[in-house]
Amino acid sequence: MYVAVGQFAVTPVWEENAQICIDLMAQAWRKGASMLVLPEALLARADDDPDLSVKSAQPLEGGFLQSLLEASTGKTMTTILTIHIPSAPGRAVNTLVAIRDGVVIAQYAKLHLYDAFNLQESRLVDPGKRVPELIDVAGVRIGLMTCYDVRFPELALNLALKGADVLVLPAAWVKGPLKEHHWATLLAARALDTTCYVVAAGECGNKNIGQSRVVDPFGVTVAAAAEGPALLLAEIDTKRVAQARQQLPVLRNRRFAPPQLL
């Protein structure tokens, strides 16, 4: 199957961001993609207000997601993104949502909150409490992750041991010393740890790096974007997954018990 990865700079206005997503969905559909992965926290973002994503939180029934659901109606393509959903006054849950044909088919509350590099996502965001179930896209098993999750190999391995062939990762990877190196290294490492494809969408703009990537099960980057808006298209070949697992059977050769959520 073919997957698309869209990256753009999120604006402070949710209606504008919804329209960008809808436009990317239309482009990906025309290109024959079975799945489109978009970045993290797409409701709103502003350089002078780091809390805007949480302040702009909407329920699943809100205007942002409903407009995307309407645009997806009648189409078999699966679109994956994250938004903030209100959890308590002034707080939210960073929630990955998968939609297809007008329906939310899966959602996942981000497990690992970005309390690192002098930032503290947990100040306003509540963590998830469960490992997400796999979803099926065109017969391919997809594992769901979000941004900072990529630094924790236990989640990727848990999903691979459940049967994932592909790991998707909406992200808003913050710029900083060595951060681009970390991003590229971690995506390749998770692909090699699990012999899965990794499909990562990065938000771009003044504070985040963009650099969306598709990495194959041998750790080879097969599609990549730079720092500006882009739409990537890449083929996911399950024969490549089978080849990697035959030549590099790390999932079979493990000596440790499967990782479990605390």
Task: State which residues form the domain around 86.
Answer: 2-246
Q: Which of 21, 147, 196, 204 is catalytic?
A: 147
What CATH number did the domain enclosing 89 receive? 3.60.110.10
DSSP 47: T
Residue-wise pLDDT tens for the chain (262 aa)? 999 999 999 999 999 999 999 999 999 999 999 999 999 999 999 999 999 999 999 999 999 999 999 999 999 999 999 999 999 999 999 999 999 999 999 999 999 999 999 999 999 999 999 999 999 999 999 999 999 999 999 999 999 999 999 999 999 999 999 999 999 999 999 999 999 999 999 999 999 999 999 999 999 999 999 999 999 999 999 999 999 999 999 999 999 999 999 9
Establish if 257 belongs to a structural domain. no
Whether residue 204 lies in the annotated active site = no
Establish if 260 belongs to a structural domain. no
Whether residue 179 lies in the annotated active site = no
Establish if 101 belongs to a structural domain. yes
Whether residue 75 lies in the annotated active site = no
User: Angle, nearest 10°, between helix axes 63-72 and 14-30?
Assistant: 20
Establish if 251 belongs to a structural domain. no
Q: Which of 21, 110, 196, 204 is catalytic?
A: 110
Establish if 67 belongs to a structural domain. yes
Partners of 98 in the β-ladder: 80, 106
DSSP secondary structure letters along 142-162: EEE--GGGGG-HHHHHHHHHH
Answering whether pTM is above 0.85, one says yes
Establish if 79 belongs to a structural domain. yes
Establish if 13 belongs to a structural domain. yes
For the chain, the domain total comes to: 1
Q: Using one digit for the tens of pLDDT, what is the confidence trace for 180-230?
A: 999 999 999 999 999 999 999 999 999 999 999 999 999 999 999 999 999
CA separation, residue 87 to residues 26, 49, 125 (Å):
31, 20, 8
DSSP secondary structure letters along 201-212: EE-BSSSBB---
Q: Which of 40, 196, 203, 204 is catalytic?
A: 40
Partners of 214 in the β-ladder: 199, 223
CA-closest candidate to residue 194, choices 233, 155, 220, 223? 155
Establish if 259 belongs to a structural domain. no
